[in-house]
Amino acid sequence: MTLSAGVARSGIHGAGRLRRHDDGRARLRLAALAIAMVGAMVGAILTAPANGRVAAPPRVYGLAVPGAPTDLTALDAATSAVGVAPGQVAFYTAWAYGGDFPASAAAAIAGRGAVPELVWEPWDPSAGTNQPAYSLATIAAGTYDGYLARWAREIKTYGAPVVIRFAHEMNTDWYPWSESANGNRPGAYVAAWRHVVGLFSAAKVKNVSWEWAPNVPQGGSVPLAQVYPGDGYVQRVALDGYNWGTSQSWSSWQSFADVFGSGVAQLVKLSSRPIYVAETASAEAGGSKAAWISDMWTWLSRHPEVRGVTWFDVNKETDWRIDSTEASLTAFRAGLSGFLTG
């Protein structure tokens, strides 16, 4: 899911009024635990071998919030409400914006105990899906190598850990980098991914963890195996998926297991890499969001292969925020500590 224009996506409004809760000492203990876990997690990711099942890193939870990476007001408010600092913070950047890697903003995220996750999107968000300038073949052919090489240098100079989720949800048809859109052909996504990662490897960038994140498989989507670059080019595999409830004319209520169960099972067979939920959230319309969140934690406790989950904490197509109701926030807080220690 894409936020609004700009490196910081600052066109999205903040998360609104978030509530402060008591039991501050418990919050501090959990926050310290989360920060320690993310340090261990990053070490495991960046030293993972190219082949073979890797040791499971500590679990981590992340947030995607409006304003990040330059405005962390919403992040601080959400952290206060949840009571635990996230271990990673996602922000979205389109190639069309150019510019430099936001090192100072990334450092501010790291200063809050989180790893910055760059969701790197090769497109112009204002121009729709059909953008030949951003076809996968064009990327693989080297058209953007100058831009890529510059960011590789800048991220290397930054030095601290960064997760890059490049060209996500590629198994769909709604982005120019989708393999079934924009004139792209089978095999083109893998070629583009390997080209981008290869440039960073040639520049000896050691502080990046590459996260491959398709949308949850659904009818008509490209098979995951067709767009997987291989364990030698990926440190983390992930899925994006949402319970839209009845918020849209085409949607219906789905449990967390309905959304992710089949896709996670496919990832286990496809890759030896740690598995993450890269984006998720639930609508309120059509059921109990609080119960959905409780069921999410229960499902995750039964699936230790999933090592992290990032919540899309934005009021966008519908109110995805953790605190859209007091009950939803309570359910999130209740299950989080068990997830992090599981």
Q: What is the DSSP string of 31-58?
A: HHHHHHHHHHHHHHHHT--SSSPPPPPP
DSSP bridge partners of 279: 240
Q: CB of 232 within 8 A of CB of 271?
A: no
Q: What is the pLDDT of residue 54?
A: 63
What does the alpha-carbon distance between residue 102 and residue 116 come to, in Å, rounded to a whole number?
Answer: 10
Q: pLDDT-based confidence at 6, cuts 50/70/90? A: very low
315-334 pLDDT, tens digit per residue, is 999 999 999 999 999 999 99
pTM of the model: 0.86
Q: What is the pLDDT of residue 97?
A: 96
What does the alpha-carbon distance between residue 36 and residue 87 come to, in Å, rounded to a whole number?
Answer: 9
Which residue matches tokens 């959400």? 78
What does the alpha-carbon distance between residue 80 and residue 134 come to, in Å, rounded to a whole number?
Answer: 40
Higher pLDDT, 29 or 201: 201
Examine the pLDDT at 247 and tell me if it is beyond 60: yes
Q: Give residue limits of the domains in the chain.
A: 24-341
Examine the pLDDT at 277 and tell me if it is beyond 70: yes
Percent helix, strand, coil in the chain, to 5, is 40, 15, 45
Token pair in block for residue 22: 């008591």
Token pair in block for residue 205: 């960038």
Mean of pLDDT values over 266-279: 98
Q: What is the mean pLDDT of the chain?
A: 88
3 state SS of 22: coil
Other CB atoms within 10 Å distance of the CB of residue 27: 19
Mean of pLDDT values over 285-290: 98
Q: CB of 297 within 8 A of CB of 330?
A: no
Q: CB of 126 within 8 A of CB of 6?
A: no
CATH number at 24-341: 3.20.20.80
Ranges assigned E (strand) in the chain: 60-64, 88-94, 115-121, 162-166, 208-212, 236-240, 275-280, 306-312
Higher pLDDT, 48 or 211: 211
102-160 pLDDT, tens digit per residue, is 999 999 999 999 999 999 999 999 999 999 999 999 999 999 999 999 999 999 999 99
Backbone CA torsion sign across 159, 55, 308, 25: negative
